[in-house]
Copies of this chain bind each other. A is one copy, B any other.
């Protein structure tokens, strides 16, 4: 299994610059805010999004100051949306640590998310690049649309595959695409390079979210974190959609009935084995998106950066956590 460190290697120095800039932007005099931001820093994830910004810039004409600012802005935007998402979903944990709403309260979570969003706009204003601003603002709108679409279809057991892909495209893939596209723009890439990287980012994002949704149906102990969160939140994802398509009318009716109850451990297990029985976890669709992503990379001469992006794609589709 490829490690994130291996993928980061070609931009190791630039990634350190990003991390310092990210820590810098989270410094504040406000004591309460400072506490919250320390928690945010402590539970940093793999920071794939800024990594994508850096790799994309380096693949074109190299990482610039604008690249670092763009990477910080996009990681901040992602963090702000996670904080607001935890309010929306009423989640108590995030990456093994308490969520902001759980550790403090909803009020503080809303304000801290807004504070970060205001920093995002300020950073983008400082980047002074119309194209980057327009990429990020268009993506912000898509992200917001995706969240509302998902909220609207919550508890709806009959969402179609088409709706599912529309949601993940808006809520995940567009952000990945914005990272790769804005990263390339920040390095002065050609339109052809921008388009290829935007396509790669979008397809990578779709694979990443599909795998995320598959992992939610995996063995919780093996995964090392709770599973079946989506169905408890009333979110129907592709594995269940596929299984419901394949099951008999009577079995479908029974599963739908189950999901209308308070979902306890027994119901969770029943839904999980239903999905496995009907082979809802088939990765065929994901492999198709993976192929399109690899195709997009062919616009570039193979080198250590295209290798790293390829490894990232493999990581996204094969990861087990």
| Chain A residues packing against B (C-beta within 8 Å) | 30-33, 81, 84, 87-90, 106-108, 110-115, 117-119, 121-122, 124-126, 128, 130, 133-134, 136-138, 140-141, 143-145, 147-149, 151-152
A151: which of B32, B128, B130, B140 is its contact (CB, 8 Å)? B32
Given contacts A110-B87, A111-B88, A130-B125, contact A30 B148 (CB under 8 A): yes
Minimum C-beta distance from A154 to chain B (A): 10
Q: Which of B108, B130, B136, B148 contacts A128 (CB 8 A)?
A: B130
Q: Are A84 and B151 in contact (CB under 8 A)?
A: no
- In the assembled complex, 18 residue pairs joining A and B whose CB atoms fall closer than 8 Å, in A order, are A30-B145, A30-B148, A84-B110, A87-B106, A88-B107, A110-B110, A111-B148, A111-B151, A112-B148, A114-B117, A115-B141, A118-B143, A121-B136, A121-B137, A122-B138, A122-B140, A122-B141, A125-B130
Bound form: Cα–Cα A136–B89 in Å:
30
* Identical chains bound together, number: 2
How many whole Å from A207's CB to the nearest CB in chain B? Answer: 25
Given A30-B145, A87-B110, A107-B88: A140 touches B118 (CB 8 Å cut-off): yes
* Chain B neighbourhood of A149, CB < 8 A: 30
Q: A88-B107, A122-B137 are in contact. Are A115 and B32 (CB under 8 A)?
A: no
Q: Which residue of B lies closest to A114 (CB)?
A: B144
Measured CA separation A293–B112 after assembly (Å): 33
Query: Which residue in B84, B90, B106, B121 is a CB contact (below 8 Å) of A121?
Result: B121
In the complex, which of the residues B108, B118, B137, B140 contacts A144, with contact meaning CB atoms closer than 8 Å? B118
**How many angstroms from the CA of A71 to the CA of B119 in the assembled complex?**
21
Q: Which of A106, A112, A121, A138 gathers the greatest number of chain B CB atoms within 10 Å?
A: A121
In the bound assembly, the distance between CA atoms of A152 and B104 in angstroms comes to: 12
